[in-house]
Amino acid sequence: MSQYVIETHDLSKQYRIGSLLKPKKTKEYLTDLFFEPVRRVRSTLVGGVPTNAEQIFWALQDVNFAVKPGESFGIIGVNGSGKSTLLKILANVVQPTRGYSVTRGRIGTMLEVGAAINPEMTGRENIYLSGVILGMKVDEVEKRFDEIVDFAGIEAFLETPLKRYSSGMRMRLAFSVAAHVEPEIMIIDEVLAVGDLGFLEKSLNKIRSLSKNGITVLLVSHIPYLITDLCQSAMWLHDGQVKEMGTAEGISQQYQKYLQERDGISDNSPFVVAKADAAAVTDAEIIAEVASVDSPSQVNQDISQTP
Amino acid sequence: MASDIYPTSDMDQGLSGPVVINRPMKGLPSLNLHELWIYRYLLFYIVRRDIVVRYKQTVFGISWAAINPLITMVVFSFVFGALLNVDTSGVPYPLFSLAALVPWAMFAKGLSNSSVSIQSNSNIITKIYFPRIIAPISAFTNSFIDFVVSLAVLLLMILGYVLLAPDLIGVVPPDATPEVIEAASQVRIFGPGPVAILMLPLFILLVVMFGLGLGFWFSALQVRMRDINYIIPFVLQIGQYVTPVAYASNMIETLSGAGGEVWQFLYGLNPMVTAIDGFRWAFFNLDFSPVPTIIASVSMCLFVFFSGLYFFRYSESKFVDYL
């Protein structure tokens, strides 16, 4: 066996975009009332073959990387670069089209925390439910219950249904459960834009302490500062391919330079804090600022960029 | 998933989870049923979640599990019992129909819940790995729990008849006249004796395996073809007519005439026929299904269950791509 906790070998994922059909004429709408279901049933049973190459989209192409035990590895890239697809393959949720990935040990995921919670159930019930869904055994949830409640700061609301919680409290509970799974590998995807500043700071410290305790952390973000701060090495994904791989600091700087050139962002933008002397401000303030500036504009740019 | 999940080997000692290789599926999938055991807590908590959520903020709570078949029983008793006078071989019509409605409700609810179970759990399925088959199984388990509640109500009803109107269901008083004994000889409550109690789990198993097998098929298909959502109500509506819920299955025999065995076999391709005949036999000593029906039911049930299991395993690796 090998010394890596995570390995990928020529990992590729293909998606089909749009439908199998050409644009329709009015007459065809009527004939399709009959033929469309037939075609769909056939493509479901036989496996649909895309009619032309433009309808194929490679979300990931030949991604190779490996992470050593205890390492914190960052993945950076613009929206739509394949980061989330990669994480979903590593989490064994999506199957690759080509190549394969190997993970050794229990995987904890913080992919959009809160997926596992249920608004009708109480705080206590939700801690058990999402703990078990996230891969803990019942006695592990029991053992860490107080810690989880304490971290989320929801002691007074344990018997209240989650739908009566504020959205911040809900996210705190979800994050807290996810952070206490104690897996071998922790996969974190853009979850840090939630909660108030104090909780953000606490979350970052928790992630640092996870990696100090020997847990391999895989962090996905498009905020360079976070990658530099929390990771040792990093990978830059672009259009589903590995653009650069190296130290977290080097990759962040390269990525930042790319963003600045692409978007014409000046040196005093929040993007640049990774380089600047950030000692005076807290992590949380920087991230809050970056996140608020970053997200909306970037979404727009990515849409307009798509060919 | 088609991924290979190895238990931790000597080389990986100290790992709290397995070594997982995620790669494209080639050839036939393995059923990997041992995984279900590893994830049993998850199954338990998902079942629990669904029950809690279903009856939260209701006044009657889990009693709804019993109220539903009881209301149908009342309607059926009026329409089929009083108006149409369906032949029940002497069993009071309310009991006759409730004994069928209880297993039928489990089948119908279980099938419609499990058919949409992948979609309704999509928020966790798209983010966290667990054996996907837990979704339809937990959905069916839910209706099984309702079944247990309504079965208790059926037993209470029978007890009520025994106490209040014993002559109607063949409990013969010690000072009975020969006419009463003659009338009661056909219907005897729990007529087959202890054998009935031993056989009942088999009939329940027939319902569970058939319903779950169809649930596997439908839930796997539903991910790609949401048409299933529209098909299910039809299946259940037609299903209730081809199943002897409101009438007795021996009416088919009288219809068939020549070539009766072929008809009996075709009728039995709906395993619910044998299951419901089984219930009525166990409780009221009514005639059990003829042999061709039993053979058809059992083989159909096994076929649907195992093919469904296999089809589900075969399709599950692509679920997230379609959700």
ipTM of this complex prediction, to 2 decimal places: 0.77
Residue A304 pLDDT greater than 70, yes or no: no
Residue A49 sits in the same domain as residue A136: no
Interface touch A129/B25, C-beta < 8 Å: no
Interface touch A93/B224, C-beta < 8 Å: no
Write the burial class of residue B311 (CB in 10 Å: 0-12 exposed, 13-18 middle, 19+ buried): middle
How far is CA B57 from each of CA A129, A161, A164, B144, B265, rounded to the nearest angstrom? Answer: 20, 11, 14, 22, 46
Interface test with A, best of B42, B127, B319 (most A CBs within 10 A): B127
Confidence of residue A289 (pLDDT cuts 50, 70, 90): low
Interface touch B21/A100, C-beta < 8 Å: yes
Residue A33 sits in the same domain as residue A168: no
Question: Which DSSP helix (H) or strand (E) runs through A7?
Answer: strand A6-16
Residue A17 sits in the same domain as residue A77: no
B18-59 pLDDT, tens digit per residue, is 788 887 777 666 777 788 888 888 899 999 888 888 888 788
CA of B323: which chain A residue's CA is closest?
A94
Q: Which of A187-191, A213-217, B138-142 has the highest mean pLDDT?
A: B138-142
Residue A103 sits in the same domain as residue A33: no
Residues of B in contact with A112 (CB under 8 A): 127
Number of structural domains (chain A) is 2
* Least Cα separation, residue B148 to chain A (angstroms): 24
The reply to whether A6 falls in a domain is: no
Residue A74 sits in the same domain as residue A30: no
A227-237 pLDDT, tens digit per residue, is 888 888 889 88
Residue A77 sits in the same domain as residue A48: no
Residue A281 sits in the same domain as residue A179: yes
A111-129 pLDDT, tens digit per residue, is 666 777 888 888 888 899 9
Q: Which two tokens stand for residue B45?
A: 């908590």
CA distance B46 to B225: 25
B109-162 pLDDT, tens digit per residue, is 999 999 999 998 888 888 888 889 999 999 999 999 999 999 999 999 888 888
Q: Which residues pair with A241 in a beta bridge?
A: A238
Q: Which two tokens stand for residue A209?
A: 């302490």
Interface touch A92/B22, C-beta < 8 Å: yes
How large a percentage of chain A has pLDDT more than 90?
2
The reply to whether A180 falls in a domain is: yes
Closest CA to B97 of B312, B276, B230: B276
A39 Cβ under 8 Å from any chain B Cβ: no
The reply to whether A8 falls in a domain is: no
The reply to whether A277 falls in a domain is: yes
Residue A52 sits in the same domain as residue A94: no
A168 Cβ under 8 Å from any chain B Cβ: no
For residues A166 and B261, which has the higher predicted lDDT (pLDDT)? A166
pLDDT given for residue A302 in this prediction: 39
DSSP string, B45-94: HHHHHHHHHHHTT-SSGGGHHHHHHHHHHHHHIIIIIIIS----TTS-HH
Residue A51 sits in the same domain as residue A176: no
Closest CA to A75 of A287, A256, A252, A254: A252
The reply to whether A1 falls in a domain is: no
Residue A131 sits in the same domain as residue A157: yes
Residue A139 sits in the same domain as residue A228: yes
A45-89 pLDDT, tens digit per residue, is 665 554 445 567 888 888 888 888 888 898 988 888 888 888 888
Q: Which two tokens stand for residue A239?
A: 């259009």
For chains A and B, count residue pairs whose Cβ atoms are closer than 8 Å: 126
Residue A239 sits in the same domain as residue A151: yes
Interface test with A, best of B23, B51, B230 (most A CBs within 10 A): B23
Residue A35, domain extent? 13-56
Q: What CATH number corresponds to the domain at position A301? A: 3.40.50.300
Interface touch A118/B127, C-beta < 8 Å: no
The reply to whether A5 falls in a domain is: no
Residue B15 is nearest to which of A41, A92, A105, comparing CB atoms? A105
